[in-house]
Amino acid sequence: MANFVIPKFQTAAVVDHSGADIRIDHEFPVKSQEELLPGECLVKLDCSGACHTDLHAALGDWPIPAKTPLIGGHEGVGIIVAIGNNTAHSPVKLGDRVGIKWLADSCLNCEDCRKGREQNCKEAKLSGFTVDGTFQEYVVSFVNHVTPIPDNIPSDEAASVLCAGVTVYRAIKYSQTSPGDWIVLPGAGGGLGHLAVQYARVRGLRVIAVDTGDAKKELCLKLGAEKWIDFMECKDIVAEITSITNGGAHSAVVTSANGAGYRQAVDYLRPGGTLMAVGLPGKATLEASIWFTVFKSISILGSYVGNRQDAVEAINIAARGQVKVHFTTKPLKELENVYEGMKAGKIAGRIIL
Protein backbone atom coordinates (compact mmCIF):
# COMPACT_ATOMS: atom_id res chain seq x y z
CA MET A 1 0.00 0.00 0.00
CA ALA A 2 1.35 3.41 -0.98
CA ASN A 3 2.27 5.89 1.72
CA PHE A 4 2.02 9.62 1.09
CA VAL A 5 3.47 12.49 3.06
CA ILE A 6 0.66 14.93 3.82
CA PRO A 7 1.66 18.50 4.69
CA LYS A 8 0.00 20.44 7.51
CA PHE A 9 -0.62 23.52 5.34
CA GLN A 10 -1.37 24.29 1.71
CA THR A 11 -2.30 27.08 -0.73
CA ALA A 12 -6.00 27.76 -1.20
CA ALA A 13 -8.20 30.42 -2.85
CA VAL A 14 -10.65 31.59 -0.20
CA VAL A 15 -13.78 33.75 -0.40
CA ASP A 16 -14.32 35.10 3.12
CA HIS A 17 -17.90 36.26 2.51
CA SER A 18 -20.31 36.59 -0.40
CA GLY A 19 -19.06 39.15 -2.92
CA ALA A 20 -15.56 39.36 -1.41
CA ASP A 21 -12.43 39.28 -3.55
CA ILE A 22 -10.46 36.06 -3.77
CA ARG A 23 -7.85 35.73 -1.02
CA ILE A 24 -4.89 33.42 -1.72
CA ASP A 25 -4.03 31.75 1.58
CA HIS A 26 -0.67 29.96 1.68
CA GLU A 27 -1.21 28.54 5.19
CA PHE A 28 -4.60 26.92 4.89
CA PRO A 29 -4.74 23.73 7.00
CA VAL A 30 -4.81 20.25 5.45
CA LYS A 31 -6.77 17.45 7.13
CA SER A 32 -4.57 14.60 8.28
CA GLN A 33 -5.45 10.97 7.59
CA GLU A 34 -6.51 10.53 11.21
CA GLU A 35 -8.97 13.43 10.91
CA LEU A 36 -10.80 11.95 7.93
CA LEU A 37 -14.20 10.43 8.67
CA PRO A 38 -15.21 6.97 7.41
CA GLY A 39 -16.03 7.29 3.72
CA GLU A 40 -13.89 10.40 3.25
CA CYS A 41 -10.74 10.56 1.16
CA LEU A 42 -8.04 13.18 0.73
CA VAL A 43 -7.12 14.02 -2.85
CA LYS A 44 -3.91 15.79 -3.84
CA LEU A 45 -5.02 17.83 -6.82
CA ASP A 46 -3.23 18.16 -10.14
CA CYS A 47 -5.60 20.85 -11.42
CA SER A 48 -9.11 22.24 -11.28
CA GLY A 49 -11.46 23.66 -13.85
CA ALA A 50 -13.16 27.01 -13.22
CA CYS A 51 -16.91 27.07 -13.82
CA HIS A 52 -19.50 29.85 -14.01
CA THR A 53 -21.13 28.19 -11.01
CA ASP A 54 -18.04 29.04 -8.96
CA LEU A 55 -18.59 32.71 -9.80
CA HIS A 56 -22.21 32.51 -8.64
CA ALA A 57 -21.07 30.84 -5.41
CA ALA A 58 -18.50 33.60 -4.79
CA LEU A 59 -21.00 36.37 -5.52
CA GLY A 60 -23.77 34.75 -3.48
CA ASP A 61 -26.37 35.65 -6.13
CA TRP A 62 -28.26 32.36 -6.20
CA PRO A 63 -31.50 31.75 -4.23
CA ILE A 64 -29.57 29.22 -2.12
CA PRO A 65 -26.44 30.81 -0.60
CA ALA A 66 -23.06 29.08 -0.47
CA LYS A 67 -21.31 28.52 2.82
CA THR A 68 -18.70 31.09 3.84
CA PRO A 69 -15.80 31.28 4.16
CA LEU A 70 -15.64 29.19 1.02
CA ILE A 71 -13.07 27.45 -1.15
CA GLY A 72 -14.81 27.12 -4.52
CA GLY A 73 -14.20 24.70 -7.37
CA HIS A 74 -15.77 21.41 -8.41
CA GLU A 75 -13.79 20.16 -11.41
CA GLY A 76 -10.73 18.69 -9.73
CA VAL A 77 -8.47 15.84 -10.78
CA GLY A 78 -5.82 14.33 -8.54
CA ILE A 79 -4.48 11.36 -6.61
CA ILE A 80 -6.02 9.81 -3.50
CA VAL A 81 -3.41 10.15 -0.76
CA ALA A 82 -5.48 9.15 2.28
CA ILE A 83 -8.73 7.36 3.14
CA GLY A 84 -10.58 7.65 6.44
CA ASN A 85 -10.28 4.85 8.99
CA ASN A 86 -13.12 2.30 9.08
CA THR A 87 -14.11 3.00 5.47
CA ALA A 88 -15.84 -0.17 4.27
CA HIS A 89 -16.03 -1.45 0.68
CA SER A 90 -14.27 1.56 -0.83
CA PRO A 91 -14.49 1.47 -4.66
CA VAL A 92 -11.20 3.41 -4.84
CA LYS A 93 -7.80 3.00 -3.21
CA LEU A 94 -4.67 4.98 -2.37
CA GLY A 95 -2.85 6.16 -5.50
CA ASP A 96 -5.94 6.13 -7.72
CA ARG A 97 -6.43 9.14 -9.99
CA VAL A 98 -9.95 10.44 -9.50
CA GLY A 99 -12.17 13.36 -10.34
CA ILE A 100 -14.18 15.52 -7.95
CA LYS A 101 -17.52 16.81 -9.21
CA TRP A 102 -20.16 19.34 -8.12
CA LEU A 103 -21.97 16.49 -6.35
CA ALA A 104 -19.47 15.60 -3.64
CA ASP A 105 -21.63 13.12 -1.73
CA SER A 106 -25.18 11.82 -1.29
CA CYS A 107 -26.88 9.34 1.02
CA LEU A 108 -27.34 6.69 -1.76
CA ASN A 109 -30.38 5.32 0.09
CA CYS A 110 -33.24 7.80 -0.46
CA GLU A 111 -35.72 7.52 -3.34
CA ASP A 112 -33.86 10.10 -5.43
CA CYS A 113 -30.55 8.28 -5.02
CA ARG A 114 -32.11 4.88 -5.76
CA LYS A 115 -33.66 6.26 -8.96
CA GLY A 116 -30.33 7.68 -10.18
CA ARG A 117 -31.05 11.28 -9.19
CA GLU A 118 -28.31 11.48 -6.59
CA GLN A 119 -27.90 15.17 -7.36
CA ASN A 120 -31.40 15.78 -5.94
CA CYS A 121 -30.70 13.99 -2.64
CA LYS A 122 -31.71 16.10 0.36
CA GLU A 123 -28.44 15.07 2.04
CA ALA A 124 -26.29 16.01 -0.97
CA LYS A 125 -22.99 17.76 -0.35
CA LEU A 126 -21.85 20.12 -3.10
CA SER A 127 -18.15 20.74 -3.84
CA GLY A 128 -17.24 24.40 -3.68
CA PHE A 129 -20.68 25.33 -2.36
CA THR A 130 -21.75 23.49 0.80
CA VAL A 131 -18.30 21.91 1.36
CA ASP A 132 -14.89 23.29 0.38
CA GLY A 133 -13.97 22.53 -3.21
CA THR A 134 -11.05 22.18 -5.57
CA PHE A 135 -9.40 25.62 -5.56
CA GLN A 136 -6.79 24.23 -3.16
CA GLU A 137 -3.93 21.76 -3.25
CA TYR A 138 -5.61 19.08 -1.11
CA VAL A 139 -9.35 18.49 -0.93
CA VAL A 140 -11.48 16.21 1.21
CA SER A 141 -13.97 14.22 -0.84
CA PHE A 142 -15.92 10.98 -0.62
CA VAL A 143 -14.94 7.51 -1.85
CA ASN A 144 -18.41 6.64 -3.18
CA HIS A 145 -18.66 9.73 -5.38
CA VAL A 146 -15.22 10.47 -6.79
CA THR A 147 -14.98 9.43 -10.45
CA PRO A 148 -12.15 7.14 -11.60
CA ILE A 149 -10.17 8.80 -14.41
CA PRO A 150 -9.03 6.50 -17.26
CA ASP A 151 -5.29 6.38 -17.98
CA ASN A 152 -5.61 7.67 -21.54
CA ILE A 153 -6.80 11.20 -20.75
CA PRO A 154 -4.59 13.91 -19.17
CA SER A 155 -5.77 15.48 -15.92
CA ASP A 156 -6.18 18.96 -17.42
CA GLU A 157 -8.37 17.58 -20.22
CA ALA A 158 -10.44 15.51 -17.81
CA ALA A 159 -11.12 18.29 -15.31
CA SER A 160 -13.91 20.15 -17.08
CA VAL A 161 -15.60 16.95 -18.23
CA LEU A 162 -16.46 16.41 -14.56
CA CYS A 163 -18.91 19.31 -14.52
CA ALA A 164 -19.34 21.03 -17.86
CA GLY A 165 -19.07 17.75 -19.74
CA VAL A 166 -21.28 15.67 -17.45
CA THR A 167 -23.90 18.41 -17.30
CA VAL A 168 -24.36 18.80 -21.05
CA TYR A 169 -23.93 15.08 -21.69
CA ARG A 170 -26.86 14.27 -19.40
CA ALA A 171 -29.00 17.07 -20.86
CA ILE A 172 -28.43 15.80 -24.41
CA LYS A 173 -28.94 12.19 -23.28
CA TYR A 174 -32.42 13.09 -21.98
CA SER A 175 -33.31 15.59 -24.74
CA GLN A 176 -35.68 13.13 -26.43
CA THR A 177 -33.76 13.33 -29.70
CA SER A 178 -32.72 10.77 -32.30
CA PRO A 179 -29.74 10.73 -34.69
CA GLY A 180 -30.30 13.24 -37.47
CA ASP A 181 -32.42 15.58 -35.33
CA TRP A 182 -31.66 19.29 -35.04
CA ILE A 183 -30.50 20.59 -31.67
CA VAL A 184 -29.99 24.28 -30.81
CA LEU A 185 -27.26 25.22 -28.33
CA PRO A 186 -27.53 28.80 -27.01
CA GLY A 187 -24.21 29.69 -25.37
CA ALA A 188 -22.46 27.18 -27.66
CA GLY A 189 -19.04 28.84 -27.50
CA GLY A 190 -18.79 28.83 -23.72
CA GLY A 191 -17.41 26.30 -21.26
CA LEU A 192 -20.50 24.08 -21.27
CA GLY A 193 -21.61 24.93 -24.79
CA HIS A 194 -18.46 23.90 -26.65
CA LEU A 195 -18.66 20.48 -24.99
CA ALA A 196 -22.36 20.26 -25.79
CA VAL A 197 -21.52 20.73 -29.49
CA GLN A 198 -19.25 17.70 -29.33
CA TYR A 199 -21.46 15.42 -27.24
CA ALA A 200 -24.36 16.25 -29.57
CA ARG A 201 -22.25 15.25 -32.57
CA VAL A 202 -21.26 11.98 -30.85
CA ARG A 203 -24.99 11.21 -30.58
CA GLY A 204 -25.50 11.95 -34.27
CA LEU A 205 -27.36 15.25 -33.85
CA ARG A 206 -27.23 18.25 -36.19
CA VAL A 207 -26.06 21.28 -34.23
CA ILE A 208 -27.08 24.92 -34.52
CA ALA A 209 -24.66 26.94 -32.39
CA VAL A 210 -25.94 30.26 -31.00
CA ASP A 211 -23.47 32.69 -29.44
CA THR A 212 -21.57 35.83 -30.39
CA GLY A 213 -18.04 36.76 -31.46
CA ASP A 214 -15.56 35.52 -34.03
CA ALA A 215 -13.56 33.39 -31.58
CA LYS A 216 -16.63 31.47 -30.50
CA LYS A 217 -17.85 31.12 -34.09
CA GLU A 218 -14.54 29.61 -35.15
CA LEU A 219 -14.51 27.24 -32.19
CA CYS A 220 -18.09 26.01 -32.69
CA LEU A 221 -17.71 25.38 -36.41
CA LYS A 222 -14.38 23.62 -35.87
CA LEU A 223 -16.02 21.32 -33.31
CA GLY A 224 -18.75 20.25 -35.72
CA ALA A 225 -21.62 22.71 -35.46
CA GLU A 226 -23.47 22.62 -38.79
CA LYS A 227 -24.85 26.15 -38.51
CA TRP A 228 -23.82 29.28 -36.61
CA ILE A 229 -26.07 32.15 -35.47
CA ASP A 230 -24.61 35.29 -33.89
CA PHE A 231 -27.33 36.56 -31.59
CA MET A 232 -25.90 40.09 -31.73
CA GLU A 233 -26.19 40.19 -35.53
CA CYS A 234 -29.20 38.01 -36.37
CA LYS A 235 -32.39 40.10 -36.52
CA ASP A 236 -34.83 37.20 -36.09
CA ILE A 237 -33.38 34.10 -34.43
CA VAL A 238 -36.69 32.25 -34.41
CA ALA A 239 -37.21 32.74 -38.15
CA GLU A 240 -33.60 31.79 -38.90
CA ILE A 241 -33.77 28.52 -36.91
CA THR A 242 -37.18 27.65 -38.33
CA SER A 243 -35.82 28.16 -41.84
CA ILE A 244 -32.63 26.14 -41.26
CA THR A 245 -34.53 23.21 -39.74
CA ASN A 246 -37.50 23.29 -42.11
CA GLY A 247 -40.05 23.76 -39.36
CA GLY A 248 -38.22 24.05 -36.05
CA ALA A 249 -35.57 22.32 -33.99
CA HIS A 250 -36.22 19.05 -32.21
CA SER A 251 -34.51 20.21 -29.02
CA ALA A 252 -32.67 23.09 -27.40
CA VAL A 253 -30.14 22.72 -24.60
CA VAL A 254 -29.78 26.15 -23.04
CA THR A 255 -26.47 26.52 -21.21
CA SER A 256 -26.25 30.33 -21.12
CA ALA A 257 -26.46 31.83 -17.62
CA ASN A 258 -29.11 34.43 -18.45
CA GLY A 259 -32.82 34.39 -19.19
CA ALA A 260 -32.57 35.53 -22.81
CA GLY A 261 -31.53 32.12 -24.14
CA TYR A 262 -34.71 30.54 -22.77
CA ARG A 263 -37.29 33.02 -24.00
CA GLN A 264 -37.25 32.14 -27.69
CA ALA A 265 -36.80 28.38 -27.38
CA VAL A 266 -40.49 27.46 -27.31
CA ASP A 267 -40.99 29.58 -30.44
CA TYR A 268 -38.26 27.90 -32.50
CA LEU A 269 -38.92 24.32 -31.37
CA ARG A 270 -41.04 22.17 -33.67
CA PRO A 271 -44.14 20.34 -32.37
CA GLY A 272 -43.05 17.68 -29.89
CA GLY A 273 -39.75 19.49 -29.27
CA THR A 274 -37.90 19.49 -25.96
CA LEU A 275 -36.37 22.43 -24.09
CA MET A 276 -33.59 21.31 -21.74
CA ALA A 277 -32.98 23.96 -19.09
CA VAL A 278 -29.36 23.77 -17.92
CA GLY A 279 -27.82 27.24 -17.40
CA LEU A 280 -28.55 28.69 -13.96
CA PRO A 281 -29.13 32.46 -13.94
CA GLY A 282 -29.57 33.57 -10.34
CA LYS A 283 -32.87 35.43 -10.53
CA ALA A 284 -34.23 35.12 -14.07
CA THR A 285 -37.52 33.36 -14.71
CA LEU A 286 -38.40 31.00 -17.54
CA GLU A 287 -41.07 32.70 -19.62
CA ALA A 288 -42.96 30.68 -22.22
CA SER A 289 -46.34 30.94 -23.88
CA ILE A 290 -48.55 28.41 -22.12
CA TRP A 291 -50.83 28.27 -25.18
CA PHE A 292 -48.04 27.41 -27.62
CA THR A 293 -46.34 25.08 -25.13
CA VAL A 294 -49.56 23.05 -24.97
CA PHE A 295 -50.54 23.48 -28.63
CA LYS A 296 -47.10 22.33 -29.86
CA SER A 297 -46.75 19.53 -27.26
CA ILE A 298 -43.49 21.06 -26.00
CA SER A 299 -41.58 19.38 -23.15
CA ILE A 300 -39.66 21.64 -20.76
CA LEU A 301 -37.20 19.67 -18.61
CA GLY A 302 -34.74 20.85 -16.01
CA SER A 303 -31.44 18.98 -16.15
CA TYR A 304 -29.14 19.39 -13.16
CA VAL A 305 -25.53 18.13 -13.47
CA GLY A 306 -25.44 14.32 -13.59
CA ASN A 307 -25.24 11.17 -11.51
CA ARG A 308 -22.28 8.82 -11.03
CA GLN A 309 -23.12 6.79 -14.13
CA ASP A 310 -23.46 9.91 -16.29
CA ALA A 311 -20.00 10.96 -15.11
CA VAL A 312 -18.43 7.62 -16.03
CA GLU A 313 -20.06 7.68 -19.48
CA ALA A 314 -19.05 11.28 -20.17
CA ILE A 315 -15.42 10.81 -19.08
CA ASN A 316 -15.07 7.58 -21.08
CA ILE A 317 -16.29 9.31 -24.27
CA ALA A 318 -13.67 12.01 -23.72
CA ALA A 319 -10.99 9.42 -22.94
CA ARG A 320 -11.69 7.79 -26.32
CA GLY A 321 -10.89 11.13 -27.97
CA GLN A 322 -14.45 11.81 -29.16
CA VAL A 323 -14.75 14.97 -27.05
CA LYS A 324 -11.98 17.48 -26.38
CA VAL A 325 -12.04 20.23 -23.80
CA HIS A 326 -10.66 23.46 -25.27
CA PHE A 327 -9.00 25.23 -22.39
CA THR A 328 -6.43 27.75 -21.30
CA THR A 329 -4.20 27.02 -18.30
CA LYS A 330 -3.68 29.68 -15.63
CA PRO A 331 -2.19 29.66 -12.13
CA LEU A 332 -4.55 29.61 -9.14
CA LYS A 333 -3.62 33.19 -8.26
CA GLU A 334 -5.32 34.33 -11.50
CA LEU A 335 -8.76 33.16 -10.32
CA GLU A 336 -10.03 36.69 -9.67
CA ASN A 337 -9.16 37.68 -13.25
CA VAL A 338 -10.87 34.54 -14.54
CA TYR A 339 -14.06 35.61 -12.75
CA GLU A 340 -13.84 39.04 -14.38
CA GLY A 341 -13.58 37.35 -17.78
CA MET A 342 -16.66 35.26 -16.99
CA LYS A 343 -18.63 38.34 -15.99
CA ALA A 344 -17.74 39.98 -19.30
CA GLY A 345 -18.57 36.83 -21.30
CA LYS A 346 -15.14 36.88 -22.92
CA ILE A 347 -13.95 33.36 -22.17
CA ALA A 348 -14.14 30.89 -25.07
CA GLY A 349 -13.87 27.29 -23.94
CA ARG A 350 -12.65 26.58 -20.42
CA ILE A 351 -10.07 27.74 -17.88
CA ILE A 352 -7.95 25.17 -16.02
CA LEU A 353 -6.10 26.26 -12.88
293-315 pLDDT, tens per residue? 899 999 999 999 999 999 999 99
Confidence category of residue 80, pLDDT binned at 50, 70, 90: very high
Q: Rounded distance, CA 32 to CA 53, Å?
A: 29
- pLDDT tens by residue, 53-68: 899 899 988 888 899 9
Query: What are the φ and ψ backbone dihedral angles of 179, each rounded to 5 degrees?
Result: -50, 135
Average pLDDT over the chain, rounded to whole? 93
Note whether 207 and 201 are within 8 A (CB): yes
Pairing of strands 40-50, 76-83: antiparallel
pLDDT of residue 307: 95
Q: What phi, psi does 171 have (nearest 5°)?
A: -60, -45
Using a cut of 0.85, tell me whether the model's pTM lies above it.
yes
* CA-based nearest residue to 42, from 33, 34, 51, 50: 33
289 versus 317: which is more confidently predicted? 317
Query: What is the per-residue pLDDT for 344?
Result: 82
341, containing H or E segment: helix 335-344
Alpha carbons 257 and 186: distance in angstroms, whole number? 10
The predicted structure's pLDDT at residue 277: 92
> In this predicted model, what pLDDT tens digit does every residue of 173-223 receive, in sequence order?
999 999 999 999 998 988 889 999 999 999 999 999 999 999 899 999 999
Give the SS3 label for residue 136: strand
E strands in 220-326: 227-230, 249-254, 269-277, 299-302
Secondary structure (DSSP) of 37-103: PTTEEEEEEEEEEE-HHHHHHHHT-SSSPPPSSB-----EEEEEEEE-TT--S-SS-TT-EEEE-SE
Which of 65-74, 243-252, 261-270 has the weakest average pLDDT? 261-270
